[in-house]
Amino acid sequence: MEHLSVNYYFIVNPNAGTRREQRKLLNSISSGCKASGAEYTLYETSCAGDGGDFMLRTASEQLSACSGDPEKMPQLRFYFAGGDGTVLESANAFMKLPEELRHGKVAVGVLPVGTGNDFLRNFGTEKAFLDVERQLAGNVQFVDLMRYVKTPAENGPDDSGVVYDFGANMFNIGFDCQTVVKVNSLRGKPFINKTFAYPIGVALTLIKLPHTHLKVTFDDGEVREGKFLLALCANGAYCGGGFYAASESHVNDGLLDVILVNPLGRLKFISMVGKYKKGKLLGTKLADKILYFRKCSGVRFEAAGGTEICVDGEIERFGAADISALPVVFPFIVPGD
């Protein structure tokens, strides 16, 4: 197999996971590239955002080496080892690239070693994405992103972390967001692996069932206002480590899927959560009674006094959030057969 026109880069966090997991990942990269006859560069990150910065630097250096002519450049494929937060980081870094590099010269892949790994579920299994040989032989699919403009809350603390301008998978407010807060608090706890972290987070959130007051304004002027158990705005279909929550969503249709769930008691919630997880809730008579669902190109969420929003697994606080669809702008590598 020839790889003369493609440069491969694998970006890993040396502090993520156990030593055994790190060895397994690095061995997988090495053996997969050797079997495919592909030369590669391994980059170990030093802090949050470093992987995205490496991609930007490398692309700039490659462009300069070709006298600024992108037609003379090889294709650059960057594989980020991580979860949904890593996809979020890579997507935001990618959108900072010069426009001439965003249309076929740079592509992004992911090796799923994170907690959720939900974005990749829109394309295949974790097993497929962990197969480095299949990754190297993968196809690039241009998919949608979501532009995100946040207005800080007037009262209360604002987040002081990284500010994201784009989302890749899903925005969650209310129950799902508070569950992620609980899941994050479980990280590093002994005997709790990533498979069971989200179900445990759901159980903990049920103890104090959150109801969040929101004003939701769609791009055609429709307004929905009131208390909601949860609200989501989706590009991808999955959240929470495999919950098929936005089962009507497609990552390349140029639209957002918005679901607003009315306040529910614990017993009612427990009775419907199975269908919600399996993607069998939307379109049913039960769904008609307890939620509102529609597609749109843009939506604004307002929370008086502010509340948390989960951006692809990362928690922020906002007063208002404007989200709009960006059709087919992100080249994502999907493993080959």
Digit-coded pLDDT (tens) for 13-26: 987 767 888 899 99
pLDDT of residue 195 exceeding 70: no
3-state secondary structure 23-79: HHHHHHHHHHHHHHCCCEEEEECCCCCHHHHHHHHHHHHHHHHCCCCHHHCCEEEEE
pLDDT band at 3 (very low <50, low <70, confident <90, very high): very low
7, two tokens: 């440069």
Average pLDDT, the chain: 91
Q: Taking residues 56-68, report their average pLDDT.
A: 96
Distance CA 8, CA 170 (A): 28
Q: Taking residues 45-66, report their average pLDDT.
A: 96
Cβ neighbours of residue 282 closer than 8 Å, sequence gap 6 or more: 247, 248, 259, 293
- CATH 2.60.200.40 in the chain: give the residue spans: 147-328
Cβ neighbours of residue 70 closer than 8 Å, sequence gap 6 or more: 63, 100, 101, 105
Q: Where are the alpha helices (DSSP H) in 153-265?
A: 175-186, 194-207
pLDDT of residue 159 exceeding 70: no
Backbone angles phi, psi at 104, to 5 degrees: 120, -15
249, two tokens: 């969503």
Class of domain 147-328: mainly beta
- Domain spanning 6-143, CATH architecture: 3-Layer(aba) Sandwich (3.40)
pLDDT band at 160 (very low <50, low <70, confident <90, very high): very low
pLDDT digits (tens, 9 = 90+) for 209-249: 889 999 999 999 999 999 999 999 999 999 988 899 999 99
pLDDT band at 186 (very low <50, low <70, confident <90, very high): confident
pLDDT band at 148 (very low <50, low <70, confident <90, very high): very high
pLDDT of residue 191: 66
- CATH 3.40.50.10330 in the chain: give the residue spans: 6-143
Nearest to 109 by CA among 144, 139, 85: 139
> Does residue 102 or residue 203 have the better pLDDT?
102
Q: Which amino acid is at 10?
A: F
In percent, the amount of the chain with pLDDT more than 90 equals 75
pLDDT digits (tens, 9 = 90+) for 278-304: 999 999 999 999 999 999 999 999 999
pTM: 0.91
How many C-beta atoms surround the C-beta of residue 67 within 10 A?
A: 7
pLDDT band at 1 (very low <50, low <70, confident <90, very high): very low
